DNA sequence: TTATATTTGTGTGTATATTACACATATGAG
DNA sequence: CTCATATGTGTAATATACACACAAATATAA
């Protein structure tokens, strides 16, 4: 027991969304093992920080990013997952708004990049497994928790939400029925603002009302698409 | 990084079911801290074993039990959760069939006991939090995965399943509608066997067909109550 | 300025699923 | 053989999900 020599790390799969594609944030490894290969950002947990603090610190150190939504994903503990020594990794998954996504997508730092999830490079360690796990969770979770809003701007036209769901679910959604359903949940505030995207009729902007959602949830009313 | 001194443990919340009550397996701690208090079984992960192996080993060592269903629950990493030193614990939740449950319920070893979940003793560490987490997961999960069968005998009358759901959901379910719904999922085999429980009409026995469920799941057909 | 292309916004009828509900049947016990 | 107890079953009413098309507001090009 006293001979336990297991190191503990955290890894974060961070998703961003723009114009019909989901991307994930990766870093290029500077050192062995897997030097030069892409990996999910992460690192070792420090003695006195919580796991969430470790994730946020590592993300800031390695990518400069600050996360809008973070949740624990799964803990990967296969004894052979790191070729050097025993490392157990607690994986998180995170979401960022387009404002964050855009900034970092623009700066093409060679060592930090967004990759579209259907055009991923080879990954280090068991990171492909972790990433697939995260994608599965994201796709599933948007159907029973209103986390999709974390991938949109604070104020968004309804079509953005619809496109996000079309993308994540991988199938078309009926515009009228989708709108009816979401609006019936009573978790969106319709704003007195319009946005015009090139040609076409300007769209009304909406805003997710987190407080109202929490309130409804407490009453046992569930989000479901 | 080399100064990391975090120990890694696993803990298991094991549930059993009998006659309208859900119970959980606890052990009485032999040593400080929390000596004499009840706790969820668990212990430190050994160098070369997987997390699941660690859980199974600890359960066997501490309680003698073998588990029928095991899944990772959540990783608890609050720096202060253990008063001695930093210990991160990966919690699992497990289910056992009544055959296992009955045996161990009978032997009233002073240091290992089943407790009804609405009559729990004070627990050590953050184990009450872990336990509540597990209960929440169990209650939620039986509505979208057919794991309830792991709490019943291999062959069971329909009323057992109905009572289990009534218990876990904490509300009555309509017998006819429930039966219709479950049978429509086509994951139960009706056997040519009857069981007679004291008085009343003997009940037909059913058996969960895991293969058929896996097959349906692969086709995207989901279990849902 | 007018016509055209583009995107948003909206309602109704149909099919499907969920819910409520009561009585006959098979057995054991007295 | 009567009574108590648990099982087994169907139908009608209601609610939910789904399919589907055209008018309104703007930008652009003629």
For every residue of A97-130, DSSP letters joined together read -HHHHHHHHHS--TTEEEEETTS---BSTTHHHH
Residues 55..74 of B with a Cβ closer than 8 Å to A: which?
Answer: 72, 74
Look at A29-33, A178-182, B129-133, B147-151 and tell me which has the smallest mean pLDDT: A29-33
User: Please, which pLDDT band fits residue B2 given cuts at 50, 70 and 90?
Assistant: low
Indicate which residues of A carry an active-site annotation: 111
Q: Is B79 on the interface with A (CB under 8 A)?
A: yes
Q: Which segments of chain B belong to CATH 1.10.10.10?
A: 161-218
pLDDT < 70: residue spans in chain A: 1-2, 108
Whether residue B79 contacts residue B41, with contact meaning beta carbons closer than 8 Å, is answered with no
Whether residue A211 contacts residue A146, with contact meaning beta carbons closer than 8 Å, is answered with no
In whole angstroms, C17 C1' to B185 CA is 14
Q: Annotated catalytic residue: which of B53, B61, B111, B193?
A: B111
Pairing of strands B7-18, B87-95: parallel
**Mean pLDDT within B136-141:** 97
Q: Which segments of chain B belong to CATH 3.90.79.10?
A: 7-141
Q: Which residues of A188-212 are buried (b: 16+ CB within 10 A; e: fewer)?
A: beeeeeeeeeeeeeebebbbbbeee
- Enter the CATH code of domain B161-218: 1.10.10.10
Residues of B in contact with A86 (CB under 8 A): 47-48
Reply yes or no on whether the pLDDT at B1 is more than 80.
no
Reply yes or no on whether the pLDDT at B60 is more than 60.
yes
CATH class of A155-218: mainly alpha
Which residues lie closer than 8 Å to B51 by C-beta, 6 or more apart? A75, A77, A88, B10, B45, B72, B90, B92
Q: Which segments of chain A belong to CATH 1.10.10.10?
A: 155-218
Whether residue B173 contacts residue B166, with contact meaning beta carbons closer than 8 Å, is answered with yes
**Mean pLDDT within B11-23:** 97
Whether residue B89 contacts residue B41, with contact meaning beta carbons closer than 8 Å, is answered with no
In whole angstroms, D8 C1' to B98 CA is 25
The yes/no answer on whether domain A7-141 falls in CATH 3.90.79.10 is: yes
Question: Which pLDDT belongs to residue B104?
Answer: 83
Question: Which pLDDT belongs to residue A94?
Answer: 98
pLDDT in tens, A24-69: 999 999 999 999 999 999 999 999 999 999 999 999 999 999 999 9
Residue at minimal CA–C1' distance from C6? A200
Which residues lie closer than 8 Å to B131 by C-beta, 6 or more apart? B13, B24, B40, B117, B120, B123
Cα-Cα-Cα-Cα dihedral sign, residues A74, A78, A83, A88: positive
Residues contacting nucleic strand D by the 7 Å CB criterion are A 174-177, 181, 194, 196, 198-202, 224; B 157-159, 175-177, 179-180, 197-204
Mean confidence (pLDDT) of chain B: 96
Q: Is B136 on the interface with A (CB under 8 A)?
A: no
Residues of B in contact with A50 (CB under 8 A): 77-79
Burial (Cβ within 10 Å: 0-12, 13-18, ≥19) of residue A51: buried
* C-beta atoms surrounding B83 within 10 Å: 10
Look at A1-15, A96-110, B144-158, B169-183 and tell me which has the smallest mean pLDDT: A96-110
Question: Which pLDDT belongs to residue A2?
Answer: 54
CA distance A114 to A101: 8
CA distance B212 to B189: 10
Q: What is the ipTM of this complex?
A: 0.95
């Amino acid at each position: 027991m006293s001979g336990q020599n297991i190191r503990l790390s955290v890894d974060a799969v961070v998703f961003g969304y723009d114009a019909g594609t989901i991307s994930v944030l990766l870093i290029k490894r500077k050192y062995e093992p897997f030097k030069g290969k892409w990996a999910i950002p992460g690192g070792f947990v420090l003695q006195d920080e919580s796991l969430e603090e470790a994730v946020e610190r590592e993300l800031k150190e390695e990518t400069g990013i600050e996360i809008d939504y973070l949740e624990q994903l799964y803990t990967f503990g296969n004894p052979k997952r790191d070729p050097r020594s025993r490392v157990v990794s607690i994986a998180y998954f995170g979401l960022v708004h387009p404002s964050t996504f855009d900034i970092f997508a623009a700066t093409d730092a060679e060592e930090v990049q967004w990759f579209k999830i259907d055009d991923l490079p080879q990954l280090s360690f068991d990171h492909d497994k972790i990433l697939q796990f995260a994608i599965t969770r994201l796709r599933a979770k948007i159907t029973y928790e209103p986390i999709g809003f974390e991938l949109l701007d604070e104020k968004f036209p309804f079509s953005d939400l619809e496109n996000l769901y079309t993308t994540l679910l991988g199938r078309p959604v009926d515009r009228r029925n989708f709108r009816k359903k979401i609006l019936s949940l009573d978790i969106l505030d319709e704003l007195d603002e319009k946005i015009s995207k090139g040609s076409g009729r300007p769209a009304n902007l909406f805003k997710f009302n987190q407080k109202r959602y929490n309130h409804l949830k407490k009453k046992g009313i569930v989000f479901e698409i």
